[in-house]
A and B are shown apart, each in its own frame.
Chain A
Amino acid sequence: MSDQPQAGAVAEPTAEGWPAPAWVPTRALGRTVLLTGLLLVLGVAFGRVDLVLIGAPFAIGAAIGLRRMPGSAPEVTITADTEHLVEGGSVDASLVVANPDVIAYDLVVLRTRTSPWLRLDHADRPFGIVVPRDGWAAVDLSGEALRWGRQDVGPAAARVAACGGLLACRPVVTPPHRVRVYPVTDPFAATEAMPAAAGLVGNHRSRRHGEGGELAGVRPFAPGDRLRRIDWRVSLRTRDLHVAATLSDRDAEVLLLLDVLGEAGASGGVGGAASVLDTTVRAAAAIAEHYLQRGDRVSLMEYGASARRLRAATGRRQYLTVLEWLLDVRADNTDQVPDEHVFGAHHVSSDALVVVLTPLVDPRAADMLASLTQSGRYTVAVDTLPAGVQPPQGNQWTPVATRLWRLERENVLGRLREHSVPVVTWAGAGSLDLVLRDVARMASAPRAGGR
Chain B
Amino acid sequence: MIDRLTSRLARMRRVVDRATLTPFLLRCGIAVCGAIAMLVAWPAALMASRYAALLLIVAVYPAVVPRGRGATLSALVVVAGWIVDTTGYGAEVALWRVLSVATLLYLGHSLTALAAVLPYDAVVNLDVVGSWGVRALVVVLISAVLTVIALGLASALAGGAFLVATMVGLCGAVGATLLLTRLLRRA
Contact = CB atoms under 8 A, between A and B. Distances in A.
Interface of A: 2-4, 23, 25-28, 30-44, 46-66, 69, 106-107, 109, 122, 125-130, 159, 161, 164-166, 168
Contacts of B114: 107, 161, 165
Interface of B: 18, 20, 22, 67, 69, 71-72, 75-76, 79, 82-83, 86-87, 93, 98, 101-103, 105-106, 109-110, 112-114, 116-119, 121-125, 127-128, 131-132, 135-136, 138-140, 142-143, 146-147, 150-151, 154, 161-162, 164-166, 168-170, 172-173, 175-176, 179-180, 182-183, 186
Contacts of B140: 57
A47 B159 CA distance: 10
Given A43-B165, A66-B179, A57 B113 contact: no
Nearest to A9: B187
Contact of B119 (A57, A126, A161): A126
Contact of A40 (B86, B169, B179): B169
A26 to B, nearest CB: 7
Most chain-A Cβ atoms within 10 A of its Cβ — which of B76, B109, B121, B150? B109
B123 A47 contact: no
B166 A44 contact: yes
Contacts of B154: 49
Contacts of B117: 3, 26, 107, 109, 159, 161, 165, 168
B179 A127 contact: no
A47 B127 CA distance: 42
B113 A164 contact: yes
A110 B8 CA distance: 27
Contacts of B102: 53-57
B118 A57 contact: no
Given A126-B123, A165-B110, A166-B113, A40 B131 contact: no
B146 A53 contact: yes
A66 B138 CA distance: 15
A114 B165 CA distance: 57
Contacts of B175: 59, 63
Contacts of B72: 27, 30-31, 34-35
A47 B103 CA distance: 21
A63 B162 contact: no
A64 B135 contact: yes
A125 B79 CA distance: 38
Name the prevailing secondary structure of the A interface residues. helix
Contacts of A64: 135, 138-139
B106 A57 contact: yes
Contacts of B121: 125-126
Given A43-B168, A49-B161, A54 B127 contact: no
22 contacts: A4-B67, A27-B71, A31-B75, A33-B179, A35-B76, A35-B109, A42-B83, A49-B150, A49-B154, A50-B82, A50-B151, A51-B165, A54-B98, A56-B168, A59-B172, A66-B182, A125-B121, A126-B122, A127-B124, A128-B118, A128-B122, A164-B135
B122 A127 contact: yes
A43 B170 CA distance: 10
Given A26-B113, A48-B93, A109-B118, 5 more contacts: A3-B113, A43-B169, A50-B86, A61-B106, A106-B135
A44 B169 contact: yes
Nearest to B149: A53
A33 B176 contact: yes
Contacts of B179: 33, 62-63, 66
Given A37-B176, A62-B179, A54 B105 contact: yes
A57 B150 contact: no
A60 B142 contact: yes
A140 to B, nearest CB: 12
Contacts of A50: 82, 86, 93, 98, 151
A31 B109 contact: yes
Contacts of A51: 79, 82-83, 165
Given A4-B67, A130-B131, A164-B113, A56 B143 contact: yes
A159 B22 CA distance: 18
Contact of A130 (B75, B127, B161): B127
A126 B124 CA distance: 8
B67 to A, nearest CB: 5
A4 B69 CA distance: 12
Contact of B110 (A2, A25, A46, A61): A61
A62 to B, nearest CB: 6
